[in-house]
Amino acid sequence: MSNQTVGVFPAAGGIGGSTAKHLLPRFPAKDLVFIARHPGKLTSAKSAGADLRRADYDDDASLQHAFDGVNTLFLISYASVGHEHRSERQRLAIDLAIRSGVKTIFYGSLGYGGNPESNESVAHVMQAHLDTEQYLDECTRKHQGFSYTVIREGLYSESYPLYTAFFNPKQPVDEIRIPHDGSGPGIAWVKREELGEGTAELLKKFLKDPARFVYRQKKVLLSGTKTLTLGQTVDILGKIAKHPVRIHQVSPDEFAAQPQVSPNFVYHGFDHSKVWTTTFEAFRRGEAAYASPLLKELLGREPEDFETTIGIA
């Protein structure tokens, strides 16, 4: 293993926290830098001896030296469903990372677009990711010796409320009102914890033999190996809830007007409920149905299926 310092930012969220957890047994703690808005949450990493730093995407001053001494950075996207502000914040983080000496960025993108080599998506939530993927590629031409790998993370099973009008199995309703009939191409759901584990293993493979790493300047997809339609997904949720539930197709406006929907899509004072419905058009086009074998290869086992993950959540 080459003597490289690996950073994760932000490292205390769902994907970041899981990745940090799985990096600890794979690397000496002294070679790990975990950067988070609330680094105090990373108690196990602190106990192990990892370097903890505080930084926030929306705090320019905190980012200035957050990446100093880091060679390889796993950069997780800004937490929002917005577009322009998200893209701008991610560009800034990339610029500051490169200025600090980061030579390789693994970027945590999202699993829309279908085949991971695709550069297009109708999903609004994917637009900032596409911007950032393109910017990373531009950076390889502006900065000699810089490289990247885009990790498109499949839609994680635990995020199903976003696509089911925030259905709650503990308080089930009879109908899930979404702008989709539940049929057609589905989603290759994946457990969030396993995304972190797979990412940690991919980083290990890179640092073990950088010269032979085959994913430089490429996009890869970490997803489940099985695809469920939205209808099948809802059937499983009904089974878990022990309550029959069906999909009722509504217009984008009707979806956005539901009282449980809007509060979950307000970012920086703007309600993204309506633009969120572009994800359902992406589903119709098969953008989330691509089942990649890579995560299974990295884990050395079959990824956990949707029903198991949600049934024990």
CATH code for the domain of 275: 3.90.25
Structural domain count, the chain: 2
In the predicted model, what is the mean pLDDT of residues 254-274? 89
Is 295 contained in some domain?
Answer: no
146 and 243 part of one domain:
no
131 and 87 part of one domain:
yes
Is 277 contained in some domain?
Answer: yes
Last residue of a domain, one of 201, 222, 243: 222
Residue 236 has a pLDDT of: 98
pLDDT-based confidence at 199, cuts 50/70/90? very high
Q: What is the CATH number of the domain that holds 58?
A: 3.40.50.720
Give the helix/strand (H/E) hosting 109: strand 104-110
pLDDT tens, residue by residue, 183-196 = 999 999 999 999 99
81, pLDDT greater than 90: no
Prediction pTM value: 0.95
109, pLDDT greater than 50: yes
Pairwise CA distance, residues 200 & 205, whole Å: 9
Would you say 40 and 17 are in contact if contact means Cβ atoms under 8 Å apart?
Answer: no
Count helices and strands (H / E) in the chain: 12, 11
Enclosing domain of residue 231: 158-186+225-290+304-312
pLDDT-based confidence at 2, cuts 50/70/90? low
161, pLDDT greater than 70: yes
Count Cβ atoms within 10 A of the Cβ of residue 14 and give its class: 0-12 exposed, 13-18 middle, 19 or more buried.
middle
Residue 267 has a pLDDT of: 78
Residue 74 has a pLDDT of: 98
pLDDT tens, residue by residue, 278-301 = 999 999 999 999 999 999 999 999
Query: What is the DSSP secondary-structure string of 45-57?
Result: HHHHT-EEEE--T
Would you say 69 and 33 are in contact if contact means Cβ atoms under 8 Å apart?
Answer: yes
- What's the chain's average pLDDT? 95
* Angle (nearest 5°) at CA 226 between 289 and 252: 40
Residue 1 has a pLDDT of: 46
Residue 271 has a pLDDT of: 86
End-to-end CA distance of the chain, in Å? Answer: 36
81 and 146 part of one domain:
yes
Pairwise CA distance, residues 110 & 132, whole Å: 11
Length of the chain: 313
108 and 96 part of one domain:
yes
Residue 313 has a pLDDT of: 60
pLDDT tens, residue by residue, 165-185 = 999 999 999 999 999 999 999
